[in-house]
Structure 1
Amino acid sequence: MNRDTRLYLAWLVALAATLGSLYFSEIRHFNPCPLCWAQRIFMYPLAVILGIAAFVGDHGVRRYVLPLAALGLGFAIFQNLETWGFVQSIKACTVNAAAACNTPWPVWGTSQDTLNRALTIPVLSMIAFALILALLSWPRQRVTVPESAAVQG
């Protein structure tokens, strides 16, 4: 897969995540918790920046978007660890009961469906950030000078 394709796919992931979060909050009326808001802060600009970079072929955009994606992934991992019971709930998530971090929103049908317990909104966010990081983590391309050019120069 070439760099242009990876950049374009990373943009599609960021765009889908952004539109998905807007769908859940604005259409399905799910109240985002503070950790969800933090992840949105990092995902929303990625949709715009990666979109522009994909259309102009700017591979140098990685230096700007990788830190955003890494920070977003950090928040997503923390939220999942909290949801899975590995870390205590932070106080910010208990202020508003309607937007508690551990609220099991029925994303896929009813809240009791197995898919809802496996693919929660925090898991989807974590997958999106991880995909963006993976797609944009191509190795640096070394510029090689042919021996004949090096000898002549």
Structure 2
Amino acid sequence: MNQKIGFAHWLAFLLPAGLLAGAYGSQYIGGLPPCEMCWWQRYPHFEAVALATIAFFVGNPAYRKALVALAALGILTSGLIGGFHAGVEYGWWEGLTSCTATISGTGDELLKSIMNAPLVRCDTAPWTLFGISLAGYNFLLSTGGAIAILWTIWRSKTS
């Protein structure tokens, strides 16, 4: 396999896998439940990991390159959603008007679950580092990574 395509392929696999690991780590270890737009950012990463994984088992280099490019488009999609979400968090534009909460059970358990469910707002960043929220980091890393993958694929075609 071409070294450039190999780099792009591994990046298309490791970047979304790492970002998903960070998202789930912040959720289950850091105690930051995701809002609706956080979930929207995860779905394209799942798709990218799946496509990049399938590409490892494809023998045809053209098909492998196409799967890696599709994974990069999924990563880019997540990054753009992250950029929109960050804009909502910073108050640059309005986002969703509803919030999310996880509830379960029946009868009295359901009522307790509803009353004790954490309210997760999409317009408030629960965590920042250097003034950048998790959605903002997803925007930066995903769009930058997707551009690097697509650029590498394009450059491998021209060299």
TM-score, normalised relative to structure 2: 0.69
Q: Secondary structure at the match of 1:137?
A: helix
* Counterpart for residue 25 of structure 1: 27
- The structure with the larger Rg is 1
Q: 52, 55, 58: which is aligned to 1:53? A: 55
* Counterpart for residue 99 of structure 1: 120
TM-score, normalised relative to structure 1: 0.72
* Counterpart for residue 36 of structure 1: 38
* Counterpart for residue 148 of structure 2: 135
Give the 3 Å change call, closer, same or farther, for CA 2–63 of structure 1 in structure 2.
closer
The Cα of 1:142 is off from its aligned counterpart by 5.6
**Cα pair 2:41 2:81 within 8 Å, conserved:** yes
Alpha-carbon distance in structure 1 between the residues aligned to 2:21 and 2:121: 21
Q: Give unmatched runs, 5+ long, in structure 1.
A: 108-114, 144-153
- Which one is further off, 74-83 or 130-139? 130-139
Amino acid at match of 2:94: Q
Alpha-carbon distance in structure 2 between the residues aligned to 1:130 and 1:53: 21
Q: Give unmatched runs, 5+ long, in structure 2.
A: 102-117
Q: 109, 122, 142: which is aligned to 2:135? A: 122
In the comparison of the two structures, how many residue pairs are matched? Answer: 134
Alpha-carbon distance in structure 2 between the residues aligned to 1:2 and 1:101: 38
Identical-pair percentage: 16
CA-atom RMSD in angstroms:
2.7
Alpha-carbon distance in structure 1 between the residues aligned to 2:48 and 2:141: 11
Alpha-carbon distance in structure 2 between the residues aligned to 1:95 and 1:54: 37
**Cα pair 1:10 1:131 within 8 Å, conserved:** no
